Amino acid sequence: MALTLDNYFAAGWRDQLHSCPACEWKGTARQMSMELHEDEAEFDCPVCENPILLVVHPSLAQVQAAAADGHPEAIEQLEILASVPRPD
């Protein structure tokens, strides 16, 4: 069972040490292979491909809250969103 993280902007999750429940591998999300899904990013064990971490995509409210807290990645995402022409 993969661990679900519902706050993409939580500090330091990329550097947290995880161990694979299926094999002996230990490492951080930076070393895992990532698969993008519609609602989340899935991080898999690089050895046995067992899903270890699911990171739910941030909602607009979460991006705005994180940007207001000065999170650089959130600020960047808001700028990207602002530059996308709205279909109306």
Q: Position 32: which residue type?
A: M
- The least CB distance from residue 51 to Zn ion, in Å, is 10
> Which residues are within 8 A (CB) of 13 and not within 5 positions of it... i.e. 6 or more apart?
5, 29, 53, 55
> By CB under 5 A, what part of segment 25-84 binds Zn ion?
25, 45, 47-48, 50
Q: Is 22 in the site for Zn ion (CB under 5 A)?
A: yes
Angle between helices 60-68 and 72-83 (to 10 degrees): 130
- The least CB distance from residue 2 to Zn ion, in Å, is 11
| Residues of the shown chain interacting with Zn ion in the complex, contacts defined by CB under 5 A | 20, 22-23, 25, 45, 47-48, 50
